[in-house]
Amino acid sequence: MVETRKCPFCGGRMVPSKVETYGHSTYFWVPPWKSKTTGIFTKAVYGRVWLCLDCGALIPYVNRTKLSILREEFEVLRTEGKV
Ligand SMILES: [Zn+2]
């Protein structure tokens, strides 16, 4: 069973790529604050690309576990008035 999600552009069906990286190609984001999701060896958060089967859009998404950690970290910084 392949996981699907709704395309934010056309409302179509999106399916994820089998892998997060291919050759040297990756989609990444480096947190602009000190984050639990990154360390000495992993400086970035990687996204998995999804393809919309209706409009052809390719969109990278970060997994929910990492996303919830980053959201919490951001909320703390906001509470402290740092963002
Ligand atoms: Zn679409």
CA dist 4 and 20 (Å) reads 16
3-state secondary structure 34-81: CCCCCCCCCCCEEEEEEEECCCCCEEEECCHHHHHHHHHHHHHHHHCC
- Please give the distance, rounded to the nearest whole angstrom, from the Cα atom of residue 68 to the centre of ligand 1: 25
pLDDT tens-place string over residues 18-63: 998 888 889 999 999 999 999 988 999 999 999 999 999 999 999 9
CA dist 83 and 81 (Å) reads 6
- Please give the distance, rounded to the nearest whole angstrom, from the Cα atom of residue 59 to the centre of ligand 1: 10
pLDDT classification of 79: cutoffs 50, 70, 90: very high
Segments making up each domain of the chain, as ranges: 5-79
Q: Which residues surround ligand 1, an ion (CB under 5 A)?
A: 7, 9-10, 12, 52, 54-55, 57
Residue 3 CB contacts under 8 Å (≥ 6 apart), including other chains: 15, 16
pLDDT tens-place string over residues 4-15: 999 999 999 999
